[in-house]
A and B are shown apart, each in its own frame.
Chain A
Amino acid sequence: MQRFSIRLTSAALAMALSVAGQAAYAEQLLNVSYDPTRELYRDVNAQFADWWVKQGHDKPQIQTSHGGSGSQARAVVDGLDAQVVTLALAPDIDRIADTGKIPEDWQTKLPHNASPYTSTIVFLVRKDNPKNIKDWPDLIKDGVEVITPNPKTSGGARWNYMAAWAWAEKAGQDPKAFVGELFKHVPVLDSGARGATTTFAQRGMGDVLLAWENEAYLALNEIGDDFEIVVPSVSILAEPPVAVVEGNIKTDDQRALAQGYLEWLYTPEAQAIAFKHYYRAWDTSKADPEDVARLPQLELVNIADLGGWDKVQAEQFGDGGVFDQIYTAK
């Protein structure tokens, strides 16, 4: 009996402590993001919290969750209690908007199509570039293997795919034939960008990895000198957008925090963090000039010039769309 009462007391104590622990934070915020933003948001969350406290608020508790952009969007649709989403591409946020949790015109609420930073798609090749890969047409040469994730499940892979498409259009080739030929050179389809990087870097598969620019630099820094980045002549302007999930906001304080968080991403301080993590942000005023200069200049095609995501998503990646035809039409 005595033992039981000790247990009960300690359980009550633990509960009281956890309640007290929560009360120390004014507001909580869950940011549901995509795969390669782990390092970026670790820095952003820390610096934003400091700034937010300086504005006279209590210290917020900010958490970030990462995963394939598509599955993250599905988690929010299925009820994950995210107050802000920072995903890889607009159609994934549109899916959440379809449920009514985000207003339909979310992309007009923040500058630059609600994308505080942009990126592009580059090639990562093995050291000294043994297959001599310089540009998109080299990817479909005999004996070249290309690693890219599955565009059905990975947001980054959809940017890869559209970058290839954009080059083929510019080069006057039939884009459908080029992309179809490209995927014949893909021996492994991972479900997300991180998985594809692992397959290429650690498993030694393939000759070239199509990757987010920031992910390619990260692989270079983390895994070492076995790789080189090759910048193609044409690539795509990848705009990973952000939005407040209105349907999951409970109080006015929480709304202020969520909006403040996303707006802060556009400040010179936050833009400098984005440059530091190899993102192409907009405002260079506070960024380290070296961080800006190391991102190479290249021709970037806007997704709007390819018809916009609404059209592209349905035509290319919908059920029975161009991507499905690559594998079923023989």
Chain B
Amino acid sequence: MRIARSSPMPGFGLAMGITVTMLSLVVLLPIAALILQGASLGPSAWWAAVSSPRVAAALYLSFRLALFAALFNLVFGVLLAWVLVRYRFPGRKLIDAAVDLPFALPTAVAGIALTALYAPNGVLGAALPWKIAYTQWGIFVALVFVGLPFVTRTVQPVVEELDREVEEASASLGASRGMTLRRVVLPTLLPAALTGFALSLARAVGEYGSVIFIAGNIPLKTEIAPLLIVIRLEEFDIAGAAAIGLAMLAISFSMLFIINAVQIWSRRRIGLV
């Protein structure tokens, strides 16, 4: 109550009440149900369920490829944001709008389109010397596609705010172009880029719709963890599905925790906090 009185903004109680209710209904309750279902197994059965070779392989595949895709998006998303803000060229507005397409497109459509392109008889698949669709490369391509807008859209406003005079000052003080980029530009972009990276990673870890079309779905090779959860559900093994879900939740949580810690550190470094 003390917080409510000391706040200069009116309506704290109502706003807070709505927020907590909404969060509970759409986020906290489903997660609590997942934890309850997973916990019903007991620790040793849970560990046996998630450490079996097939589940362990699926979890490793999902998180490894999500990490690679998010790293790829981190580099190319920042580059894309930079190009879109700093340069003027014909078709810029069009490309800018196209960045949002992966948000808008149903993921199944994206998966089918990518598969048609990269399948051995597809336009790109036939031209490339190695197989993309139905291999881990296919999963990577799909994850890059769905995660691309996150980094670009979080970094873009920061690039717009970036003062050119700071770069000029850096140059006039004798810094080389590379040094300006390394010591002045990138540290400023880092917090936003990390937010985009975390969002892209989170999206890639949970992605299902587009991946199942382009992955071969072969156990131990190209079977992602979300697919294994669906398979467990089809077998009416709800506890087994919840066990994998819980493992994904735990790993995702620790990864996002680490990213947030790095972000706080990088914000402090450039004096934002």
Contact = CB atoms under 8 A, between A and B. Distances in A.
Q: Do A and B bind each other?
A: yes
A188 B134 CA distance: 7
B43 interface: no
A152 B218 CA distance: 12
B54 A74 contact: no
Contact of A327 (B54, B115, B234): B54
A248 interface: no
A319 B233 CA distance: 12
B234 A188 contact: no
Q: How large is the interface on B (under 10, 10 to 19, 20 to 34, 35 or more residues)?
A: 20 to 34
Contacts of A68: 234
Interface string B122-135: 10000000000110
Contact of A71 (B119, B219, B234): B234
A202 B218 CA distance: 20
A71 B230 CA distance: 10
B28 to A, nearest CB: 23
B217 A203 contact: no
Interface residues of A, number: 23
Nearest to A188: B216
B231 A327 contact: no
B-side interface mostly: loop
Interface string A288-330: 0000000000000000000000000000000100001001100
A102 interface: no
Contact of A95 (B115, B218, B223, B236): B236
Contacts of A70: 234
B234 A189 contact: no
| B212, B220, B230, B234: residue with the most chain A Cβ atoms closer than 10 Å | B234
Contacts of A191: 212, 217, 230
Contact of A188 (B217, B233, B236): B217
A130 interface: no
B216 A187 contact: yes
B38 interface: no
A150 interface: yes
A327 B220 contact: yes
B217 A189 contact: yes
B172 interface: no
B121 A204 contact: yes
A151 to B, nearest CB: 11
A153 B234 contact: yes
Contacts of A324: 54
A190 interface: yes
A177 to B, nearest CB: 18
Interface string A161-196: 000000000000000000000000011111100000
A205 B119 contact: yes
B237 A319 contact: yes
A186 B223 CA distance: 14
Contacts, number: 60
Interface string B222-265: 01000000110111110010000000000000000000000000
Nearest to B122: A203
B217 A319 contact: no
Given A188-B217, A204-B120, A328-B52, A150 B235 contact: no
Contacts of B52: 328
| B120, B218, B220, B237: residue with the most chain A Cβ atoms closer than 10 Å | B218
A319 B54 CA distance: 12
A188 B115 CA distance: 12
Contacts of B121: 203-204
Nearest to A154: B234
A191 B220 CA distance: 16
Nearest to B236: A95
B219 A327 contact: yes
Interface string A189-228: 1110000000000111100000000000000000000000
Contacts of A202: 116
B222 to A, nearest CB: 9
A287 B167 CA distance: 83
B53 interface: yes
A74 B233 contact: yes
A70 B230 CA distance: 11
Given A74-B236, A319-B235, A328-B53, A150 B115 contact: no
B118 to A, nearest CB: 10
A187 B133 CA distance: 11
Interface string A254-275: 0000000000000000000000
B217 A190 contact: yes
Contact of B231 (A152, A190, A203, A204): A152
Contact of A203 (B133, B223, B233, B236): B133
Interface of A: 68, 70-71, 74, 77, 95, 150, 152-153, 186-191, 202-205, 319, 324, 327-328
23 contacts: A68-B234, A77-B236, A95-B236, A150-B217, A152-B234, A152-B235, A153-B230, A186-B218, A188-B134, A188-B218, A189-B217, A189-B223, A190-B217, A191-B230, A203-B116, A204-B119, A204-B120, A204-B121, A205-B119, A205-B134, A319-B237, A324-B54, A327-B220
Given A188-B134, A319-B235, 5 more contacts: A150-B217, A152-B235, A187-B134, A205-B134, A319-B240
A-B pairs with lowest CB-CB distance, top 7: A204-B121, A203-B119, A327-B219, A189-B217, A188-B216, A70-B234, A153-B234
Interface of B: 52-54, 115-116, 119-122, 133-134, 212, 216-220, 223, 230-231, 233-237, 240
